[in-house]
């Protein structure tokens, strides 16, 4: 097999080699059925067992929290930005948002299309390079939910603790950090994530939420935009993204085999430390973008002295087999996305490359 790229793509992103190889082995003939999982009816027992297994694994990795259900949806996390207010933002209530970066911005923008919103806290005045103070959230009495973005993929900041919201359901967009660390899901009314960063390929969005939230009846929105439709039909009201769900199940199997979320967290902390330490010890040659306290374990954003030097860094890195180190077009700079499936060896190779680059250009 050819050498694998050092893949630091932000999303779609690296998948575990073991998972890809397993999928390859059963690609044409899925477990003796004489067809690919992609060629099967989603109403058949074979697909349904994969579908249910993925749901069970998602909950098992979270310690089987009581009263929670898993849904598989389409349209990406971006569609959740609209579905959340459509389902939960009733007349006379307010959707509250913690503004932490580009994705929180997009989530708020969609909510404004449906009802009243408020900003509970914001770090916009600091270009979103930190997580705002969570001890003094401004929540109106009529707050329907508080929405947070647990990890801002573009800016590279991540919640280190979650806000206390009392009776107000906490909803988190965990698209870029779900399962990167041990998480107490009981704090949340709902978490959601597009799969293509930390859970699998694109095409499926995972929602994990309290069953009573999902069961709420909303009549004046299309059937496919109601959580209750998916809950009632075990996410099989219409054709699910069956291949993506299968891949998510395999990624979850891999996480379990590696030792679950505790092991993921430990490895992610080691990987991130390798790169952040390199940045901090470079004497200012590399500069981390985010406030150190709020630095993301998943998206490591940093800058060089000039845009020219950053361009050169990207170019030279590509020659050495590194992929995806250019920062998001909206903020520039450099970004290494170190999701669960990015091996320690890739991070070590990047840290070494950064060292050499500094020696040549510092
Ligand atoms: C990538 C990303 C999204 C958008 O996901 P899509 O599945 O492309 O809609 C939303 N939120 C966060 C935090 C992301 O990283």
pLDDT above 60: residue 1: no
Alpha-carbon torsion (324, 330, 332, 337), positive or negative: negative
**DSSP-assigned states of every residue in 144-209:** EEEEEESEETTTTEE-SSPPP-TTSPEEEE-TTTTTSS---GGG-SEEEEETTTTTSSTT-EEEEE
194 C-alpha to center of ligand 1: Å? Answer: 6
Contact yes or no for 73/230 (Cβ under 8 A)? yes
Contact yes or no for 193/174 (Cβ under 8 A)? yes
226-253 mean pLDDT? 98
126 burial via Cβ count (<10 Å: 0-12, 13-18, 19+): exposed
Q: Residue 2: which pLDDT band, with cuts at 50, 70 and 90? A: low
CA angle 244, 247, 250 (to 5 degrees): 155
Q: State residue 47's pLDDT score.
A: 98
Neighbours of 160 (CB within 10 A): 11
Q: What digits encode the pLDDT tens for the residues 210-232?
A: 999 999 989 899 999 999 999 99
Q: Is 348 a catalytic residue?
A: no
Neighbours of 164 (CB within 10 A): 11
Q: Whose CA is nearest to atom 13 of ligand 1?
A: 175
Contact yes or no for 125/99 (Cβ under 8 A)? no
Q: Is 173 a catalytic residue?
A: yes
264-270 mean pLDDT? 98
pLDDT above 80: residue 160: yes
162-173 mean pLDDT? 96
| Residue list, annotated binding site | 43, 77-78, 103, 153, 173, 196, 238-239
Please say whether the structural domain 260-361 has been given the CATH code 3.90.1150.10. Answer: yes
Q: What digits encode the pLDDT tens for the residues 269-280?
A: 999 999 999 999
Q: Which position among 69, 103, 177, 210 bears the catalytic label? A: 103
Q: What digits encode the pLDDT tens for the residues 300-341?
A: 999 999 999 999 999 999 999 999 999 999 889 999 999 999
Percent of the chain with pLDDT over 90: 97
Q: Whose CA is nearest to atom 1 of ligand 1?
A: 175
170 C-alpha to center of ligand 1: Å? Answer: 18
Burial 48-86, CB ≥16 within 10 A → b, else e:
eebbebbbebbbebbeeeeebbbbbbebbbbbbbbbbbb
Question: Which residues form the pocket of ligand 1, taking CB atoms under 6 Å from any ligand atom?
Answer: 11, 76-78, 103, 149, 153, 173, 175-176, 194, 197
In the chain, which segments carry CATH 3.40.640.10?
Answer: 18-257
285 C-alpha to center of ligand 1: Å? Answer: 31
Which secondary structure element, helix H or strand E, spans residue 216, and what is its range? none
Residues composing the chain: 362
Percent of the chain with pLDDT over 70: 99
pLDDT above 90: residue 3: no
Q: State residue 296's pLDDT score.
A: 98
251-278 mean pLDDT? 98
80 C-alpha to center of ligand 1: Å? Answer: 10
Distant-in-sequence contacts of 56-64, Cβ < 8 A, 24+ apart: 57/249, 57/252, 57/253, 57/256, 58/206, 58/208, 58/252, 59/208, 60/256, 61/179, 61/252, 61/255, 61/256, 61/260, 61/261, 62/183, 62/185, 62/208, 62/261, 63/185
Give the bridge partners for 295, in sequence order: 157
Q: Which position among 69, 173, 294, 326 bears the catalytic label? A: 173
Ligand 1 atom with the shortest distance to the CA of 79? 9
The residue ranges of DSSP E strands in the chain, in sequence order, are 6-7, 68-73, 94-99, 116-122, 143-149, 151-152, 157-158, 170-173, 190-194, 205-210, 287-288, 299-303, 322-323, 334-337
Q: Is the pTM of this model over 0.95?
A: yes
Q: Whose CA is nearest to atom 12 of ligand 1?
A: 175
Asked if the bond preceding 59 is cis, omega within 30° of 0, the reply is: no
Contact yes or no for 185/64 (Cβ under 8 A)? no
Q: What digits encode the pLDDT tens for the residues 66-86?
A: 999 999 999 999 999 999 999
Give the bridge partners for 193, in sequence order: 206
Q: Whose CA is nearest to atom 10 of ligand 1?
A: 77
In the chain, which segments carry CATH 3.90.1150.10?
Answer: 260-361
Q: State residue 308's pLDDT score.
A: 97
Average pLDDT, rounded, for the chain = 97
10 C-alpha to center of ligand 1: Å? Answer: 10
Question: Which of the four CATH numbers 3.10.20.30, 3.10.105.10, 3.40.50.10170, 3.40.640.10 does domain 18-257 have?
Answer: 3.40.640.10
pLDDT above 90: residue 204: yes
Nearest by Cα to 164 from 144, 124, 192, 136: 136
Structure tokens at 204: 């499926």
Q: State residue 239's pLDDT score.
A: 98
CA-based radius of gyration for the chain: 21
Strands 94-99 and 68-73: unpaired
36-53 mean pLDDT? 98
Q: State residue 7's pLDDT score.
A: 98
260-274 mean pLDDT? 98
């Amino acid at each position: 097999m050819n050498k694998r790229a050092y893949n630091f793509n932000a999303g779609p992103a690296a998948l575990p080699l073991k998972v890809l190889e397993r999928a390859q082995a059963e690609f044409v003939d899925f477990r003796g059925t004489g067809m690919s999982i992609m060629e099967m009816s989603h109403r058949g027992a074979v697909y349904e067992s994969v579908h249910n297994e993925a749901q069970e694994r998602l909950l098992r990795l979270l310690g089987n929290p009581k009263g929670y259900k898993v849904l598989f949806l389409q349209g990406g996390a971006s569609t959740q930005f609209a579905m959340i207010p459509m389902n939960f933002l009733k007349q006379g209530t307010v959707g509250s948002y913690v503004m932490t970066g580009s994705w929180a911005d997009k989530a708020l923008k969609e909510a404004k299309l449906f009802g009243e919103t408020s900003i509970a806290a914001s770090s916009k005045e600091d270009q979103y390079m930190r997580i705002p103070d969570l001890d003094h959230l401004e929540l109106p009495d009529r707050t329907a939910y508080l929405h947070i973005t647990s990890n801002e993929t573009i800016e590279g900041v991540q919640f280190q603790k979650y806000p206390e919201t009392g009776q107000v359901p906490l909803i988190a967009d965990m698209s870029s950090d779900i399962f990167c660390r041990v998480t107490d899901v009981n704090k949340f009314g709902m978490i959601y994530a597009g799969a293509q960063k930390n859970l699998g390929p694109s095409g499926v969005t995972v929602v994990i939420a309290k069953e009573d939230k999902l069961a709420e009846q909303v009549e004046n929105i299309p059937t496919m935009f109601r959580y209750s439709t998916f809950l009632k039909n075990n996410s099989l009201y219409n054709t699910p993204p069956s291949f993506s769900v299968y891949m998510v199940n395999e990624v979850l199997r891999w996480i379990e085999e590696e030792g679950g979320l505790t092991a993921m967290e430990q490895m992610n902390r080691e990987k991130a430390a390798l790169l952040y330490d390199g940045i901090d010890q470079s004497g200012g040659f590399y500069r981390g973008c985010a406030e150190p306290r709020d630095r993301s374990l998943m998206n490591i954003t940093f800058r060089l002295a000039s845009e020219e030097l950053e361009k050169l860094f990207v170019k030279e890195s590509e020659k050495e087999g590194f992929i995806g180190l250019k920062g998001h077009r909206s903020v520039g700079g450099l970004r290494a996305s170190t999701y669960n499936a990015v091996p320690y060896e890739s991070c070590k190779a990047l840290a070494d490359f950064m060292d050499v680059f500094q020696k040549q250009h510092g």
